[in-house]
Structure 1
């Protein structure tokens, strides 16, 4: 008897079960969170055919890895992808690796907050425009993130990064990061951080103290584009003993290199294009594993270090620092070594390193800031007044045995007066007023003038000085013997500020008046104003701080006496008097005319240096200082000029097209451009003084001075003429003899002296030279 047929064979049944299983798997995969997120990713990047993402199950896609049907890796870098990344990626809770680098993806980076399994994220080399501040929240397993070279809007490193405590590499080169480097990057938050790459951004400020003792091996902070760049000291590098590669070049770091003997694994060390000063430590020269070192374009001092060039590739071009000699390994002269030891006690300030060049501080062809010498080549005067110095007074001043005047007033020096200074047998004057000196005053010879005023803690065992406090306590009359002190009323502080500002205002007014006199020579005036020979400023005892009179005296006035008239602002009258060649001006008038003395309280000589730097930039570029017709990032000349000056190609584009650029011309223009950049430094103490500016430009002026007079010059003015002579000749060719009285008087006076600098007034020491004036 035949059994009834079931209608299908066993093999057909197996095929049915397989199809049912496949259908069930497909339905499951399509309904899972990962499938939806992956479909959103495929759509947002335009379903590129080269990926072959056609299967409904994303775990079968190329460049995608799964575990237990959950997506764990997406590795689609270098696939020529376009489009954006969807926010749905946040739903891939098992994701450990996300690689989308080297594509053309754009738009915002989605927040991946909460993906606690994520370990590696590579977003670099795309066109992403936004980075969310909460991106790192909950990323407790993250080890590597790369954000290099994207088109981000300006952003700061978010606090949410502190969630990623397992981080080993943070890289955001060229990613438009701004602000300061957060202190948490080098602290205990990231004990395993090995690589920190933040080059070519807009960071500013100093290296965080938390870097000291960190485990960082690779540190890239070079090429910041902000106005101030990264700055301050690099001393904490000595405590980053795990470092193997340090790139800090093209910033504004200052001060000396620290002892690097603890960095035994250091191989690559680049700090070129900064403002580092001081002596290169032998610990760097002797590091066993060092293979590359670049210190070009700094202000390093002392002997040129001698590296083992058979093992180390060295870039330290001749003349690109302030070494005493160009030959590596040769020692400096004794006076140079003494001055460098003195500079060490105040942190090797930039103001010294910019002018202390060569191996002879008494060489007449090279002016050393604050140093004057006698005819025998011995240092007789050290004038470090009002240079913003911090640190202590070096006992090594005592080694300058010919020293007569030691002037250190108006700084922020602390510590005590070294007793070694009493051994200076030729010392005549010591001025340490308006600092933060404490302790007892050593006993000097009776004929030594010692000025200690303005040091509130003098005579005390310790200092109450807090960094950031302005130097000095009160003004007073210089002491005539050691230990003399005095006090003054509360108004003296205000008076000192006003007097300093008034001096600048008077000098500025005189210059402006001179310009007006030259341009209005045909215009007669009803009164005669003489070119002043003497400016006397008399502080009064007015309690309101306005008790100052200014007497401008000219002893050469015909028939005039030498009387001076006193006028203070304590009365109701705000008039000025011009009588018998003397001018007395109310302080209130000056305050009104100078907008309350700018609102020789931020009046400083370095303001004029900044302005001169802007003028140099205008001459080079042919652009105005402020040009609102330019794009937003190019409106301000100084900011734009610095950005263009970064490399040779962009700099050539910034030069006025009317200038015919040969190699020699470009070299001179580059020198002036570099000078302009220093003049326009953000902080006044970072700018050179005008003496240095003159030294740089005078050499170029001599280079480009015409070999013979231009025959086409209708005025026939000799370039070697004094200004008054040239003006007279110009007026003669103009056919005008109608100089106004003030111009004639000025020219007569200037013609007699042949210079705008008056002769030495009576009472000045014979040792006073032009260098003291500078």
Structure 2
């Protein structure tokens, strides 16, 4: 055994020098290749004795342990086998002009510091930083030519990492949630990249002191709550991103001296804990939507607040009591951006959206219905002692109903239906109507919750009084039952009478319903009353208020009608070319005029535009579309089916399209649009599309938002055309449309990849239109150089510096200072709307709230003909009836027969929402 061990030792003694010799040979090969690649040759690098070269250090065995070549204006490529230098601990190549692929450092287990910043590397190989178990510092910043690459997750194998710098390095994607792997990390700088998404939660538990994540191209998003747990933090640069929500309580961040939060979408008051930080020296908060009192910092702090925040006062001091209360209410809702942008000033009764006041300036109603708010119901509502109505229905609120709401002395209505509330409904007074339906886990009268419905009060429960079962004596119960039965009987009789009256009124109204088709001999009846039939919800569902404008509530009239081809030929002079208003992929639009002067627009669709859609599906869509009325949507008044041909009848918009006024105004002999006209048109469009999005359950959506589909009326107010019901399915059906519309630059990037139609695609297209309104340029100008031909790409580069916007503005506007400020706000909105990631774009309600304050009353600059459009207060059948009467024609409209249901249009075929995809109204 002893002799065997001696033989092993002898063999190892002979092999070790050989292995060392081979390793040294590997180092020599790498260093020789490195020398040949560098230009010019570094000073002091000559001969084969690389351990004697300037900046090269070797260990006692002749292995390279350090290379320092910083700031020598060197170019060339780094050998790919650099990681064969297995004994290297320091690599310093920064501030040169090295290009090509960044060298892989994988498995250099002794490497502690690597400085590769400020070069011209073009790509990073996969796994380049794997196995660096001793790594403490990695600096890659300033490599502007790198192809997009993700955050290197393999760094989790470097538990000793202290510093990671990768600013200006073209990082893309999200920041992975891996910071629990870096117990020693103190410095993280990732500025000026294209990182997206929210901050990873593990970042909040790290030991980071210096955090730079500012100026991401699209913008990091989400809330900043985790900053409160980063107690070691001393410097935070998060400016120029898309962070939302409030600034967190930073009272535990006692080392913080520099806080840069400007150019985000932060809301809520500035916490007193931030103003009290003893080491704070710099803070920037401008270009947010912060609220509450004007923050006051010590004189030792350099403060930048800007002018875009929504502080209640321009001088220090507390807000009005009602304003303070409503800010607490907003806080429970996580300070939504819509409230931060629209609740300005120190008077809640001065045109604050969602708020109604009496003549004494006391808040009497708060209406947050259908605003997609999250959070909880604030107990602070109880401070609004004059409150009579509180509508919180159809949101995503959670938590309990505060007991304090029962103390409101004048409360009459509390609607909390269709949320995610839990717990017991407090006992309100008998005069309070409490609507609780649609909260699956709410408890009333001591009931237990059920996932299947609203136990205790039913799925449509309304609690009218505060009494509960078991409180009355048996005699009282008997009397109560008798009274209840009597009341129920009376109500039943009234309901029956009401239904009979309603049927009578409908029969009288339907007498204009049938139109004779002289060519086919077939009768075509009007759209079946109640054509929505639950498809888009009840009438109350569709009559949702748009933003803050009470006038936006749509009007639904029962004049939906099928019109004979003979009538349409007469009113268009047999579809004369002289009456052509426009042409598109769908066919031709003609002007039509009735005998009394009423004008209509008739869209005559080619067979290829309608495709193979079934007749019942086409009729079902028309049944819905003719019900929709909104002041900023072009009304669909009727339709005609003539064999395989299909025609749609719209209200006539006499001033043509936005595109004509924006790009071809000189050809039409009219002055260019002023800025006030442009921003007013933008607001009109935003309100129209916002209303369509409010009908999202019906898949109502605009399908092709661009200036040629924005029409102008007599008063130059805009209406949106080309909307309908869309199936969201990536079935390839939209591939041709994608290619065509994408050519014009209005479609969002994700539509080209999946073909899915979403509301965020509308928001993107709206952002493009805003850019066109600002610049007077089309979305795609092939005559311009490539770097300027695509409006969105060029304009988003302009937005990096506000000063550049002035040079991009349409020359005909010649803005003064006030107008320039307005343009800059719209430009900022355009940038947000065209964000690459859909979730980073705002909704149309946000656009309405931004544009609303910018719009003032104006008068048209062109003299236009009055009363040449259709009167929406008169249904099309009535207008046609007057004309037919003038012509002594009685055949067009007759009484509806008892068999009208045979030819009536089905309001919603079975499976309609799952199978229908429309391109008919294009």
Q: Output the TM-score relative to the length of structure 1.
A: 0.71
Are the equivalent residues in 2 in contact too, given 1:495–1:547 (CA < 8 A)? no
Alignment partners' CA distance in 1, 2:29 and 2:759? 67
8 Å CA contact 1:388–1:685 kept in 2: the answer is no
- Alignment partners' CA distance in 2, 1:463 and 1:131: 56
Deviation at 1:523, TM superposition (A): 2.9
What is aligned with 2:247?
257
1:279 has 2:269 as partner: yes
Residues 760, 843 of structure 2: 8 Å contact kept: no
CA deviation after TM superposition for structure 1 residue 679, in Å = 5.0
CA 1:260–1:453 in structure 2 vs 1: closer, same or farther (change >3 Å)? same
Contact kept in structure 2, 1:407 and 1:430, CA below 8 Å = yes
Determine the structure 2 residue equivalent to 1:558: none
> How far apart are 1:213 and its partner, in Å?
2.0
What corresponds to 1:218 in structure 2?
A: 210
Q: Displacement, 1:441?
A: 1.8
> CA contact under 8 A between 2:621 and 2:725: conserved in structure 1?
no
Shift of 1:438: 1.8
CA offset digits 1:711-749 (Å, max 9, x no partner): xx6x4x6xxxxx846989xxxxxxxxxxx968999xxxx
Alignment of 1:49-88 (within 5 A): 49-68=41-60, 69-88=62-81
Residues 1:179 and 2:173 are matched in the alignment: yes
**Aligned mate of 1:384, from 344, 361, 368:** 368
Alignment partner, residue 101 of structure 2: 108
Which position in structure 1 is the counterpart of 2:391?
407
- Conserved in 2, the CA contact under 8 Å of 1:134 and 1:160? yes
**8 Å Cα contact 1:277/1:300 also seen in 2:** yes
TM-aligned CA deviation for residue 125 of structure 1? 0.8
CA–CA distance in 2 between the matches of 1:548 and 1:686?
A: 27
- Contact map agreement 2:829 2:847 (CA 8 A) in 1: no
Structure 1 residue 576, shift from structure 2 partner = 11
Match of 2:224 among 223, 229, 234: 234
Distance 2:463 2:65 in 1: 80
Shift of residue 192 of structure 1? Answer: 0.4
Quote the Cα distance in structure 2 between the aligned partners of 1:168 and 1:190: 8
Structure 1 656/464 Cα, relative in aligned 2: closer, same or farther at 3 Å? farther
Distance 1:34 1:597, change over 3 A: closer
For the pair 1:313 / 2:297, whether they are aligned, the reply is no
Say if 1:690 and 1:219 are closer, same or farther in 2 by CA, change over 3 A.
closer
Offset at 1:259?
1.2
1:115 to partner: Cα distance: 1.1
> Which of 246-255 and 51-60 deviates more?
51-60
2:294 aligned with 1:140:
no
Distance 2:366 2:50 in 1: 78
2:323 equivalent among 304, 315, 336: 336
Change over 3 Å in CA distance of 1:146–1:653 after alignment to 2: farther
Distance in 2 (CA, whole Å) between partners of 1:83 and 1:589 is: 57
What secondary structure is seen at the aligned counterpart in 2 of 1:300? strand
- Structure 1 position 160 matched with structure 2 position 150: no
Distance 1:143 1:497, change over 3 A: farther
Q: CA deviation at 1:439?
A: 2.0
Task: State the alpha-carbon separation in 1 of the partners of residues 808 and 627 from structure 2.
Answer: 48
Residue 126 of structure 1 and its aligned partner are, at CA, apart by: 0.8
CA distance in 2, matches of 1:405, 1:506: 19
The equivalent residue for 1:757 is none
Q: How far apart are residue 448 of structure 1 and its match?
A: 2.1
Alignment partner for residue 415 of structure 2, among 417, 420, 431? 431
Q: Determine the structure 2 residue equivalent to 1:371.
A: 355
Structure 1 residues 591-630: aligned runs within 5 Å? 596-597=725-726, 599=728, 611-625=765-779
Larger CA deviation: 440-449 vs 681-690: 681-690
SS in 1 for 2:106: coil
Go from structure 1 to structure 2 and tell me whether the alpha carbon gap of 1:292 and 1:693 turns closer, same or farther (over 3 Å shift). closer
1:651 paired to 2:805: yes
- Map of 2:184 onto structure 1: 192
1:680–1:687 CA contact under 8 A, matched in 2 = no
Partner of 1:93: 86
Does the CA contact (< 8 Å) of 1:354 and 1:688 recur in 2? no
Q: Is the 8 A contact 1:502 1:590 kept in 2?
A: no
Q: Partners of 1:509 and 1:609 in 2: how far apart? A: 26
Separation of aligned partners in 2, 1:498 and 1:126: 64
- Partner of residue 767, structure 1: none
Find the aligned partners of 1:483 and 1:492 in 2 and give their Cα distance: 36
How far the C-alpha of 1:603 sits from its partner, in A, is: 10
Q: Structure 1 residues 637, 141: closer, same or farther in 2, change over 3 A?
A: same
Equivalent of residue 246 in structure 1, options 228, 233, 236: 236
Return the alpha-carbon distance in structure 1 between the equivalents of residues 880 and 344 of structure 2. 44
More displaced, 492-501 or 70-79? 492-501
Deviation, structure 1 residue 327: 1.3
The 3-state SS of whatever aligns with 1:377 is: coil
Residues in 2 aligned to 1:293 and 1:506: alpha-carbon distance in whole angstroms? 44
Unaligned runs of 5+ in 2: 1-19, 452-456, 469-531, 547-551, 562-571, 573-578, 582-588, 601-619, 629-645, 651-696, 704-721, 729-755, 871-877, 884-922
Contact map agreement 1:292 1:314 (CA 8 A) in 2? yes
Q: Which residue of 2 aligns with 1:295?
A: 285
Paired position in structure 2 for 1:583: none
Farther-moved stretch of structure 1 (453-462 vs 214-223): 453-462
- Is the deviation greater in 434-443 or in 167-176? 434-443
From 298, 303, 312, the counterpart of 1:324: 312
Corresponding residue SS for 2:290 = coil
Partner of 2:918: none
Aligned to 2:425: 441
C-alpha separation between the residues in 2 aligned to 1:604 and 1:30? 60
Q: 1:582 maps to which residue?
A: none
Change (3 A) 1:342 1:313: same
CA, structure 1 residues 689+139, in 2 after alignment: closer, same or farther (shift >3 Å)? closer
Per the TM alignment, residue 637 of structure 1 is displaced from its structure 2 partner at its CA by 4.2
Whole-Å separation in 2 of the counterparts to 1:463 and 1:603: 37
**Is structure 2 residue 516 aligned with structure 1 residue 524?**
no
Tell me the number of residue pairs that the alignment of Structure 1 and Structure 2 aligns.
625
How far, CA to CA, are the matches of 2:230 and 2:698 in structure 1? 57
2: CA distance, partners of 1:589 / 1:455: 24
Equivalent residues of 2:338, 2:849 under 8 A apart: no
- 8 Å Cα contact 1:679-1:687 kept in structure 2: no
Counterpart of 2:852? 695
CA distance in 2, matches of 1:126, 1:34: 24
Distance 2:830 2:151 in 1: 33
2:243 counterpart SS class = strand
Cα distance in structure 1, aligned partners of 2:59 and 2:177: 38
1:51 aligns to what SS in structure 2? Answer: coil
| Residue 653 (structure 1) shift | 4.9
Separation (CA, whole Å) in 1 of partners of 2:264 and 2:699: 45
Q: Which runs of 5+ in 1 are unaligned?
A: 1-26, 466-472, 485-490, 532-545, 555-573, 579-586, 718-722, 729-739, 746-774
CA distance in 2, matches of 1:88, 1:182: 29
Residue 3 (structure 2) aligns with: none
1:669 aligns with 2:823: yes
> How many Å apart are 1:52 and its aligned residue?
2.8
Deviation of residue 85 (structure 1)? 0.4
1:523 is paired with a residue whose SS is: strand
Structure 1's 597 and 29: CA in aligned 2 closer, same or farther, altered over 3 A?
Answer: closer
Give SS of 1:293's match: strand
Please state whether the residue corresponding to 1:277 is helix, strand or coil. Answer: strand
2:196 aligns to what? 204
What's the counterpart of residue 537 of structure 2?
A: 496
Whole-Å separation in 2 of the counterparts to 1:126 and 1:157: 19
Q: What is the deviation of 1:417?
A: 1.6
Q: Match of 1:203, SS?
A: strand
**TM superposition shift of 1:258:** 1.2
> d(CA) in 1 for partners of 2:261 and 2:386?
38
How far apart are residue 462 of structure 1 and its match? Answer: 9.1
Question: TM-score if structure 2 supplies the norm length?
Answer: 0.60
Change (3 A) 1:50 1:436: closer
Distance 1:378 1:122, change over 3 A: same
Q: Go from structure 1 to structure 2 and tell me whether the alpha carbon gap of 1:77 and 1:339 turns closer, same or farther (over 3 Å shift).
A: same
